[in-house]
Every structure is written in structure tokens, then in C-alpha cells.
Structure 1
């Protein structure tokens, strides 16, 4: 009896302490994130000689390389999102329906970018592209290498970003497909005469809206902030441009990096909120289907 009372008191103590500890950790993490951003904001809008000013933001926009870097980054972002969803959604659906035994193999392959540093991936790509170019002008490998490195349409960088997002996209789509009765939905749609593309567009995608939103916003956030692959492959994206202007106008680079950081956080928050709203709707739809 005494031991039971002691264990009950200990359990109550844990329940009392745990919420306080959780809030303390949340506050520490929030301060860790917010304090540098507040300091960066203060540095970007306050000049000791002139006082508060938003001129650094205007200077960053007026820089000759800003719009070129911005347009290239937006192009890469759009192509990466479209390519990623076009490749991974049909692949994951096929994996769940036709080849479930290959799922562990696919998971291992998609996890490789987590254990291999991005600088190593970039160095490997550079080596392969140079070896292809060494075959000589006019040869098929050299032409393929030149096509992949087109400065106006950087296919190699788009492919690199798709590879970097694979670990997170695989797990998100896999979890989303596991929460629905995929086989029944697909077979029902086919029995009504729907084609494969129609099934993906009008049956599968609406039922995994949350994971798709997560993949999209995560991909956008990565494309807006990734630096290593872009600078190693020789492309002047927005993060690379920020690093280059930091030497001549550090305050302007801080201002623009703060805006990009705020946009990234806004995307992540929107991703979390929208994915959270989609999950109950998906669960309700599944419950209605089962009933």
C-alpha cells in the first residue's frame, strides 16, 4: 500500500513537472529562433548615424543582380515542385499497390541524401559532368552535360534539389497513403471507367492533400534557402547572391536574408496549419467510407 501511494505521488509529480518542462523547452527554442532575427531586424533598420531607415531594403532590391537571382530561384522552385510531385506521387501509389515488398528498398534509397553531405553530392555531380564533357565537343556525353548545365534552365540543380527532398517527401507521402484505403479507391475508380491519370488527379490527390501540401512547402523552403549545391554547381541563386553582396553591402544582405528567413518560416507555419486541417478531413472521409 505504501509503495502504491509513493508511485501515485511520483506519477502526479511527473504530470505536474512535465507541462512546466515542456513550456520551458518551447520558450528556449522560441528565444533561440527569435533573438537572432530580432537582432538582425534591428541591425537592418537602424543606422547609428541616421537613425531608423528602410534604405538597406531598397538598396538590396536596387542591386543589379537581385532580379536575375530572384527569377532563377523562382524558376528552379517551380520546376522542382512540379518535378518532385510528378515523380514521387505516381511512384508511391505504384509502390503501395503493385510492389509493397520493394517499399523498404525504396525507403533506404530515399534516405541516402540524409547521410551523404550535400557538398559531397555536389562534388560528385561536378566530377561526372566534367568527365562527360571530356569526351569532346559534339559527342553525345558532352552535349548531355551541356544540356544539364544550361544557365537558363538548370536541370542539374533541379534534379539535385529533388534528390535532397526525397527523405522527407517519401515519409510524408507514405504516411498519407497509409491512412487511406488506396486499393479500394483505385479499383472503384477504374471500375467506373476512370483512366490512370484521372485516378491520380481526382481520387488519390484529394485524399492526400495534407502530405502534398507539406511536400510543396518544404520544397519551396529548401529552394529558397539552399546554398551549397547552387554555389558548387556555379549558379547564382538568391542565397548565393546574398553571400556575394555581403562583401560590398552587408546591411543590405542582412535585410534581404531576413525577408527570406521570414518567408521560409511563414511557409513552414502555413504548411503545418494546412496539413493539420487536411488530416481531420481525410480521417472523416475514411471513416465515412468504412461505414
Structure 2
């Protein structure tokens, strides 16, 4: 039976790979890469760097690339779930074709997932859909990676939660709807609209980072009222320069009693 590794490759630094991930790389015959276009060529280039640095010299492997389908990013809140569902379905068709055409029944393939496959990534859900279609069968194993959340906390030399208190990981879309109940420490991902602007009145501390683990890394920390404008400027400049941006942040407000 075909074997698939879903390998977390960290937040941008080739040294983020775990020993388990390196061992999996060296068992893989075919690496599947999704091209996200010229603007995000850095993401493909990093994957090539990882393979060059961590695969044993002389070990052969193949690369199979496909164009990642575009997602409807203009869909409003009411259409967001449908847009994501359609995008995942299109991805499942691409995965299915690659597995059938480019991976032998006795071979091992791998998807290199940015960060950690278990945190705001679609690869596992897409592979489950491929299995449900029934055209191709495979076994798969998940190799955890260093997420942008872990990298953010490490670069700011802080913990994600305080003693005896919970932390919540959410999206910018959800944060724009209101601060989550019952928590004072909130990690925010996938925030294209800088939803932290809705919470300047509470003036939490923000630990923000973009392109974590890469040579383009940007870090800002401070009271939101003091650094929000600076973050917006840096984010806009970086996105204009590179054509894309990956950022995340921790908001930490003064403790509220339940």
C-alpha cells in the first residue's frame, strides 16, 4: 500500500525540523509540492532548501509539483465556509491525481506542511476526502512540526499562558467579532485585516511576529495603543515588498476575574 507522510516543517527556519521529520524525509520517494504562484515562490524555495540540507547525500527522490487552486477570498462571512469547502474539494482532486499518477503502490510520498499539520492547515482534511472518494488507498502518518505559535512565543521569550490561566488560539475573523469569553491570553492567526484594531480600548500587550524563522522576520512587542500603528505600517510595507505575508500575534490583557 502507498504510504504518505504529512511532515510539519516549522515556521520558516530549516533548523526547525525535528529528528523524526528528518528520518521521514529520508524514507520518502516522492515529495508533493503545491505551487502558490510567483509571489509565494519563497515557500517552494524553502522546501527545496530543506530537502537539500536534510536528505542524505546520494539518496534519490522525485519532486512532483502542481498549481494550488485559488480560493475565493472575496466571499463574505456568510460565504466563507462554502468558499473553503470548494477550495478543499479542488485540492482533493489534485492530490488524488498526483497519488494515482506519480506514486507507485509500494512507494512512500510526503507533503511538507508549513508549521504544524494539526494547526490551521487543510492537508489532513483533504487527504481524508481523497480516501473517502475511494479511487486511491494509502496509509498516512503525521509528523508534528514547530508551529508559528510556538515560534512566536520563543522569539518573544514568553509563555503562551499565565499560571493557572487558559490560552485560546483563534483567527482574525473571530477576534473581530469580540474578545473570546473566559480568557485573557489570545493567540491570533490568519488575520488579513488586523483585527487587533478592534481592541485598542482594552489596551492589551501584543507580541507580534511576521515571517517567523526566516531572514525577513519582523518582531514588535508592547502595549497595543503604542505599537498598533507601527505594526500596520510594517505589515503593509512587508506585504508590498514580498507580495505575501504570514504573521501571528499574542494579545495579553490585564487579568479579568471570572
- Say yes or no: TM over 0.5: no
More strand by share: 2
TM-score for both structures, normalised by structure 2: 0.24
* Max Rg structure: 1
TM-score for both structures, normalised by structure 1: 0.22
More helix by share: 1
